[in-house]
Amino acid sequence: MTTNFESLLAKVHEIDDLNKALALLSWDREANMPVAGTAVRVQQMTTLSRLTHMMFTSDEMGELIEAGADEVVGADFESNDASLIRLLRRNYADARKLPPDFVARVSRISGHAHKAWVQAREENDFASYQPWLEQIVELGQEKAELYGYEDEKYDALLDQYEHGMKTAEVRAIFAALKDRLVPLRQAIQGRGVEVDDSLLYQSFDVGKQKEFARYIAPKVGYDLSRGHIGTVVHPFASSFSRDDSRITTRWYPDFLSPSLFGTLHESGHAIYEQGTHPDLARTPLARGTSLGVHESQSRMMENIVGRSLGFWRAHFPHLQSLFPEQLGEHKVEGFYRAINKVQPAFIRVEADELSYNFHIILRFELEQALMNGQLLVKDVPEAWNEKMETLLGVVPPTDSEGCLQDVHWSKPMFGYFPTYALGNLYAAQFYETAVAQEPDIGEEMAGGKTETLLVWLREHIHQHGRKFTPRELVQRVTGRPLGYEAFVRYATAKFSEIYEL
């Protein structure tokens, strides 16, 4: 006989399968689809989005969850069954707050807005995108109201990406971070050391860049036999199961960093999904628990591992062998300094580890203002440039390099950006804990190896998927709540050495 919990699981699997089909429609749109296919693809995605929403928010589903829950009352908090019930209850309550026609509207409008954004960015034409962004902002505000909030509108949006985190809390952490990082950046600039990173800006054959990506991704633990590297405008990772967890990269023929660190970054994301426990398959537990924690894995591989001297002592020779003309004469120390150059720049995804946080703070502040109505869409380019001046001391020459650079605002993904900087903080805190618990990690890292680190990450973070909230996870793994301190220690030590402070 089928138990209620088994019936619930069958339904959960069905909905997960549909969600993965939807994810594939989305991945494919960016990685393969001809632009001409957009109109019909948007309709296809709208249909699947509407169907899964309808299935998951039905009264029947609510009854199924509660009937299943009754059967596993008393199960360990850490068990898969209890964790699934917790997550389903939360997701169900949230999803019921969004009426089907709102969901369909979001899918339809964001489909068109995304197309408009791609074109606006290509043609540096914010005006053509403005009416779409206005609709997107309204959708964001509407969403916040539908979810509801106690303190401020932005809380409702942030909660969707970093469950349990409050805007006030992020504001406090970011303020403390600014207090520590601004003096560090000033010290670096005051030192007057000019790092030469011209070696990164040479002609690099794209085919060979791809070859190197396939070499380097497994070095940070990405299992390519369960993965795939695609090409897109704005890189992302996407998984359709733990055994099909993909990354995408962009390739510049005259600049090495984007493909190099993009690959390492997205590999970090993909590894997280590949490491979820097989028993969680085809359920919403088989994902990273939050965007911030997800970002901690990508940032760890991109920066803590991927911009370390030990890593490149081990792998720079292979890079040199692919590009002997460009890199053959260079020493690994020079390469290491180049990839760690602190330099305010326009593009977030190419920013150094320090500047990156200011990019996020900028977006965090603008988003709050947009949601509260203190900032109008038409004034975004000006506000963007003013904040760039204040925070980073530079002004982008075009909107394409400014407020049009990110994909996020072509969807109502407000509340998403802060998770990037939170990712840096989680990463440092996790890494500090890992090294304290497993001293081998430090030694291995000096030799460019990541084996023990990966075992630790899989054991303490990856396998659990979404069983614990970010707050539960960081407490459980590091013994304390998220703070800014570990990152400040890490960054201070690293850049003090590089810049001889």
Q: Can you give the binding site for a copy of itself, defined by CB under 8 A? A: 13-14, 17-18, 20-22, 24-25, 28, 31-37, 39-41, 43-44, 46-48, 51, 207, 224-228, 230, 240-241, 243-244, 246, 281-282
What is the nearest approach in angstroms of a copy of itself to the Cβ of residue 46?
Answer: 8
Closer CB to a copy of itself, 205 or 443, in the complex: 205
Asked if residue 22 lies in contact with residue 52, where contact means CB atoms within 8 angstroms, the answer is: yes
Query: What is the distance between the alpha carbons of residues 101 and 222, in angstroms, rounded to a whole number?
Result: 39
Nearer to a copy of itself (CB atom), residue 104 or residue 395? 104
CB of 36 to a copy of itself, least distance (A): 4
Quote the tokens at residue 139: 């959708």
- What region, left, alpha or beta, does residue 148 occupy, with left being phi > 0 and alpha being psi -120 to 50 degrees? left
DSSP labels, 115-172: HHHHHHHHHT-HHHHHHHHHHHHHHHHHHHHHH--SS-HHHHHHHHHSTT--HHHHHH
Smallest distance from a copy of itself to CB 17, Å: 4
∠ at Cα 290 (288, 294), nearest 5°? 55
C-alpha to C-alpha distance for 52 and 14, rounded to whole angstroms: 9
Rounded Cα distance, 273 and 271, in Å: 5
CB 140 within 8 A of CB 75: no
Nearer to a copy of itself, 107 or 296 (CB): 107
As measured in angstroms, the least distance from the Cβ of 270 to a copy of itself is 11
Nearer to a copy of itself, 57 or 478 (CB): 57
Distance CA 56, CA 66 (A): 13
Q: DSSP code of 239? A: E
Q: Which of 468, 100, 26, 463 is nearest to 280 (CA)?
A: 463
* Per-residue burial over 211-249, b = 16 or more CB atoms within 10 Å of its CB, e = otherwise: ebbeebbebbbbbeebbebbebebbbbbbbbbeebbbbb
Residue 14 CB, nearest approach to a copy of itself (Å): 5
At a CB cut-off of 8 Å and minimum separation 6, what does 360 contact?
A: 174, 348, 417, 418, 420, 421
| β-sheet bridge partners, residue 244 | 241
| Cα–Cα distance measured from residue 327 to residue 6, given in angstroms and rounded to the nearest whole number | 58
Minimum CB distance to a copy of itself smaller for 31 or for 88: 31
Q: Are strands 227-231 and 237-241 parallel, antiparallel or unpaired?
A: unpaired
Q: From start to end of 185-321, where are the E strands?
A: 227-231, 237-241, 244-249
CB nearer a copy of itself, residue 6 or residue 145: 6
Give least dist CB 45 to a copy of itself, A.
Answer: 8
DSSP 443-501: HHHHTT--HHHHHHHHHHTGGGTTSS-HHHHHHHHHSS---SHHHHHHHHHHHHHHTT-
Helix, coil or strand: residue 245: strand
**Annotated catalytic, 266?**
yes
- Which long-range contacts link 74-79 to residues 24+ away (Cβ below 8 Å)? 78/467
**What is d(CA 83, CA 273) in angstroms, rounded to the nearest whole number?**
17
Q: Which of 30, 266, 295, 367 is catalytic?
A: 266
Q: Least distance in Å: CB of 109 to a copy of itself?
A: 18
Of 26 and 135, nearer to a copy of itself (C-beta) is: 26
Tokens for 52?
Answer: 């899964």
Minimum CB separation of residue 240 from a copy of itself in Å reads 7
Name the minimum Å distance from CB 38 to a copy of itself.
8
Residues that are catalytic: 266
